[in-house]
């Protein structure tokens, strides 16, 4: 199995999803790709101070590069719709800086937060210590993951990087850390996988609209084709259990979709009927809000290993 390197440069960067994007790299099932990524906002170097205007990657095409800065697409030889792409997240290393904060928006009024101006946080990140420190002295333990990992919709055209889809994208699931495995249904020939939107840490919900947004020095992913597994929604193997994701504009509907996917998993892996699975899920499955800020909301269901014996 081969290992490939993808650096953020014009031929590998894009700010949209499309099945018509030419692959920046073609790999075989079982290969590993090591990416270095920009932050979601296309920033190429750390601002010298809080008041500096960030230097952005250029050149960019407004109609094609208006979304998150993504690296790829990576085509996987032999990938076809109906298969599943297994993405092993081997390692994630943050860069040295990040940003976040609270900005103007409808959520401010709902939360009794003043809607004048913005509150920005700029972070120094230490990957060895696993900590971040803001300009105000706040200190947090880092739990880095990639906000966007996914493939384009099956339909032709240009699609925003903003909403998550069943083929992945802006999932913003904080559980997708190193050591976990993401399973996505493949929508297009070749898969055409892209990654970006590094987060140094984020809470469930991503309630202000952003996490600690940061470049990533290293994102190591191993790709495998699964023709023995058919999925309709994302699934994640985490330490100690399974997650299934539901995505919908309505949070209640997203909850039911995540639960439906979990019932699928329980029936598949535990050889039980759906009524039995639902009865047991009420006892051992936890429903958690993934994010509420991308137009399409996310919910994930969690089933711990050994919860049912």
**pLDDT per residue as tens digits for the range 6-54:** 999 999 999 999 999 999 999 999 999 999 999 999 999 988 777 788 8
**pLDDT per residue as tens digits for the range 259-291:** 999 999 999 999 999 999 999 999 999 999 999
Q: What is the DSSP letter of 54?
A: P
CATH homologous superfamily, domain 3-93+144-226: Acetamidase/Formamidase-like domains (2.60.120.580)
Q: Do 96 and 198 touch, CB atoms closer than 8 A?
A: no
**pTM for this model (two decimals):** 0.96
pLDDT, average across residues 125-153: 98
Residue 104 has pLDDT above 80, yes or no: no
**pLDDT per residue as tens digits for the range 123-133:** 999 999 999 99
Residue 228 has pLDDT above 80, yes or no: yes
Residue 105 has pLDDT above 90, yes or no: no
Look up tokens 């600690």; give the residue.
212
Backbone phi, psi, residue 144, to 5°: -75, 145
pLDDT, average across residues 76-83: 98
Q: For the chain, what is the mean pLDDT?
A: 96
Domain locations along the chain? 3-93+144-226, 240-304
Measured CA distances, 267 to 10, 48, 176, 263 (Å): 45, 54, 24, 6
Element holding 290 (H helix, E strand): strand 285-291
Q: Do 157 and 63 touch, CB atoms closer than 8 A?
A: no
The CATH code that applies to domain 240-304 is 3.10.28.20
- Which strands, in side-by-side order, build the sheet including 297-304? 3-6, 32-37, 216-226, 84-94, 181-185, 235-238, 241-248, 297-304, 285-291
pLDDT, average across residues 161-176: 98
- 79 pLDDT band, cuts 50/70/90, is very high
CA dihedral of residues 71, 220, 122, 136 (deg, nearest 10): 170
Residue 224 has pLDDT above 80, yes or no: yes
Beta bridge partners of 240: none
138 CB-near residues (< 8 Å, 6+ apart): 121
How confident is the model at residue 144, as a pLDDT? 98
308 CB-near residues (< 8 Å, 6+ apart): 270, 280, 284
Q: What is the DSSP letter of 197?
A: E
pLDDT exceeding 90 applies to what percent of the chain?
91
How confident is the model at residue 41, as a pLDDT? 96
Residue 120 has pLDDT above 80, yes or no: yes
Beta bridge partners of 88: 181, 222
How confident is the model at residue 53, as a pLDDT? 86
Tokens of 265: 């998993």
Tokens of 150: 């996914």
Beta bridge partners of 85: 184, 225
How confident is the model at residue 235, as a pLDDT? 98
How confident is the model at residue 107, as a pLDDT? 82
Tokens of 50: 């809080």
**DSSP character string of 15-49:** SSB-TTSPPSEEE-TT-EEEEEE--TT-B-S--SS
Residue 173 has pLDDT above 80, yes or no: yes
Lowest mean pLDDT among 117-126, 164-173, 234-243: 117-126
């Amino acid at each position: 199995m081969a290992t490939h390197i993808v650096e953020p440069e014009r031929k590998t960067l894009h700010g949209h999803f499309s099945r018509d994007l030419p692959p920046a790299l073609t790999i075989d099932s079982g290969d590993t790709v090591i990416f270095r990524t920009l932050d979601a906002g296309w920033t190429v170097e750390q601002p010298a101070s809080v008041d500096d205007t960030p230097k952005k990657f250029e050149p960019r095409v407004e109609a094609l590069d208006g979304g998150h800065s993504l690296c790829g697409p990576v085509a996987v030889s032999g990938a076809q719709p109906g298969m599943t792409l297994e993405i092993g997240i081997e390692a994630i290393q943050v860069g040295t800086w990040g940003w976040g904060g609270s900005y103007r928006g409808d959520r401010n009024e709902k939360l009794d937060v003043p809607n004048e101006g913005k509150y920005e946080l700029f972070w120094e990140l230490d990957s060895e210590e696993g900590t971040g420190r803001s300009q105000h002295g706040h200190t947090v333990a880092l739990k880095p993951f990639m906000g966007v990992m996914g493939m384009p919709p099956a339909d032709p055209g240009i699609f925003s990087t903003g909403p998550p889809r069943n083929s992945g994208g802006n999932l913003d699931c904080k559980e997708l850390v190193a050591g976990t495995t993401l399973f996505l249904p493949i929508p297009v020939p070749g898969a055409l996988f892209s990654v970006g939107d590094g987060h140094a840490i984020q809470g469930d919900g991503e309630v202000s609209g952003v996490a600690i947004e940061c470049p990533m020095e290293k994102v190591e992913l191993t790709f495998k084709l699964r023709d023995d597994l058919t999925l309709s929604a994302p699934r994640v193997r985490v330490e100690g259990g399974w997650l299934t994701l539901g995505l919908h504009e309505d949070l209640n509907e997203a909850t039911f979709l995540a639960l439906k996917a979990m019932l699928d998993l329980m029936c598949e892996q535990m050889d039980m009927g759906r009524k039995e699975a639902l009865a047991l899920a009420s006892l051992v499955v936890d429903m958690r809000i993934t994010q509420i800020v991308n137009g399409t909301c996310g919910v994930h269901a969690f089933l711990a290993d050994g919860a049912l014996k």
